[in-house]
Structure 1
Amino acid sequence: MEDNTKQPPTADASLYNGQPSDTGPSCPSAGLTSSTPSISKNKGGVSVENVPSGNKQWFVLRVTYGRIIKAQTFVEAKGLECYVPLHYKEIWKQGKRRIITEPLIPSFIFVHASAERVDFLLQDKSIKPLENRALLSYYYDHTALCEKSPTKNPPLVISDSAMNNFIQLTSIHNPHIIPVTSENIKYKLGDEVVITDGEFKDIRGRVARIAGQQRVLVELFDGCLVATAYVPKNAMKPYVEH
């Protein structure tokens, strides 16, 4: 079985249905610290090692259209940890079954670093090519306001537990893991569950009916929703936060 990473020819705008425009400039996000738990094993062979990391946080950065691979290369060249979720897709070529990969969410990259390092990264002049279109920019938290600048939104930061759950799901080599929009979803009683068996074991999310199947939906933030493949009822239980 052969893995080939490719960039999709077009971005699916439906993935970001109803996504608000960013507001800026951002306010300082210093003071928000994280203690990222370790992921000892990621299914699917994707290696993302989260260890206690002082003042590092998971920032969501927007990437200009069609440049997710370039953005990942740029961030890694700066010595920063980042995560680009991939979609595993089965194709047949010359009578042989192959697995190819492409970015699951082509407009976002997740960077694990301190607020200062991310600010420094985005100030790099090399991310602004012709036409002054920045390669990377902050995605802002439209549910919050800055303490010192109440008319501005802070950069969106994802909690370690939510990011670990998202990484665990999107690291699984299953072509039926899909991004969805709110219009595709019919929540079943709003149940929040944890999967107890199978390849999606320990994934947390909400039960939803998508494409005629019962699945578990993981929502990382507004506009970023990813669904598992089919999950039987006896392979999940209500999630109770400890």
Structure 2
Amino acid sequence: MEDNAKQPLMADASLYNGLPTDTGSSCPSARLTSCTPSISKNKGGVSVENVPNASRQWFVLRVSYGRIIEAKAFVEAKGLECYVPMRYKEVKKRGEKRVITEPLLPSFLFVHASAEQIDSLLQDKNIKTFENRTLLSYYYDHTSYCKNAPTKNPPLIISDTAMDNFIHLTSIHNSHIIPVTSENIKYKLGDEVVITEGEFKDIRGKVARIAGQQRVVVELFDGCLVATAYVPKVAMIMYNRY
């Protein structure tokens, strides 16, 4: 890992909005077991604690363009838990700096539910009410295949451990947390580390150099990467030593 003096942020601030073409469909083999993370606010921000639950899992759903808020409301109206990571972005208006919030990943909604609940949600007839565009659809795991349908990919499910880490990072109110693509990263993702101090304490990820700064990148799934602000070398240790 290399350490550098803190430098001005120069990264492209555009939101990651990649939409790989899905080739799969839902299949029974996607119904894995997991624990239920519960999200509660406290003085330190957001804490995530796992409570055992064998039926609910974190599904990644694709949202049609510009409809993330509508999608969140639709899911919550069904009584399901969902998560929309927000971005805290600095903007200038009339010469004054302000911090605004906007969806960090506007093409994705994370829903904590059983496979049966997700199937029922996506079959709802009201899901295509706006210009006949599907509000929500499965995002598929392109790294595996259904046991009963070898040519199809199962729906993507995120482990509780990975989701806890992601929620921890994206719940921090820091405008320098940004979504990145491989083009933003100036060298290959390196050592896997744990941040040991500061506002990003306990975040796990890989070291990378982005916009002239040493940062830690959390990759939730292929193509979905979010970077911390600058992290000095002294504030991290190798993950396998933690």
Q: TM-score, normalised by structure 1?
A: 0.86
1:240 is displaced (CA, Å) by 1.5
**Who is 1:3 aligned against?**
none
Would you say 1:236 and 2:218 are equivalent positions? no
1:88 aligns with 2:88: yes
Are the structure 2 counterparts of residues 241 and 53 from structure 1 closer, same or farther at C-alpha, using a change threshold of 3 Å? farther
CA distance in 2, matches of 1:166, 1:142: 20
Amino acid at match of 2:191: D
- Report if the CA contact (8 A) 2:195-2:237 is conserved: yes
In structure 2, what is the equivalent of residue 119 of structure 1? 119
In structure 2, the residue matched to 1:59 is 59
Unaligned 5+ residue runs, structure 1?
1-11
Pair 1:157 & 2:157 matched: yes
Distance 1:24 1:232 in 2: 42
Contact kept, 8 Å, 2:30 with 2:146, in 1: the verdict is: no
Q: Which residue matches 1:5?
A: none
Matching residue of 2:8: none
Which range is displaced more, 84-93 or 212-221?
A: 84-93
**SS, match of residue 134 in structure 1:** coil
| Distance (Å, rounded) in 2 between the aligned partners of 1:43 and 1:187 | 37
Assess, with a 3 A threshold, how the Cα gap between structure 1 residues 183 and 195 changes in structure 2: closer, same or farther. same
Runs of 5+ in structure 2 lacking a partner?
1-13
Work out the CA distance in 2 between the residues paired with 1:42 and 1:227. 24
Helix, strand or coil at the partner of 2:34:
coil
Report the alpha carbon displacement of residue 26 of structure 1 after superposing the two structures with TM.
1.8
- Alignment CA distance shift 1:68-1:116 (3 Å): same
Contact 2:27 2:146 in 1 (8 A): yes
Matches within 5 A, 1:1-20: 15-16=17-18, 19-20=19-20
Q: What is the total number of aligned residue pairs between the two structures? A: 229
Q: Deviations over 1:7-41 (max 9, x none)?
A: xxxxx57542xx53112332124641102456666
Distance 1:123 1:49, change over 3 A: farther
Contact 2:48 2:164 in 1 (8 A): no
Q: Could you tell me how far 1:150 is from its partner in structure 2?
A: 0.8
**SS of corresponding position for 1:184:** coil
Letter of the 2:212 counterpart: G
Distance 1:218 1:24 in 2: 25
Q: 1:225 to 1:59 in 2, by over 3 A?
A: same
Aligned in 2, Cα 1:99/1:43: closer, same or farther, shift over 3 Å?
Answer: farther
Distance change >3 Å, CA 200–CA 104, structure 1 → 2: same
Code of the aligned partner of 1:139: Y
| 1:16-165 equivalence runs, <5 A | 16=18, 19-29=19-29, 31-36=31-36, 45-46=45-46, 50-93=50-93, 97-165=97-165
* TM, length-normalised to structure 2: 0.86
Deviations 1:70-126, CA, capped at 9 Å, x for gaps: 000110110000000000012344565432100000000000000000000000010
2:46–2:168: 8 Å Cα contact kept in structure 1? Answer: no
2: distance between equivalents of 1:194 and 1:119?
Answer: 36
CA contact (8 A) 1:85 1:103 kept: yes
Structure 2 CA distance for aligned equivalents of residues 143 and 122 of structure 1: 23
- What RMSD over aligned residues (CA atoms) do the two structures have, in Å? 2.4
> How far apart are 1:53 and its partner, in Å?
2.5
Q: Is the 8 A contact 2:39 2:47 kept in 1?
A: no
Cα pair 1:29 1:115 within 8 Å, conserved: no
Indicate the SS of the match to 1:51: strand
Matching residue's letter, 2:91: I
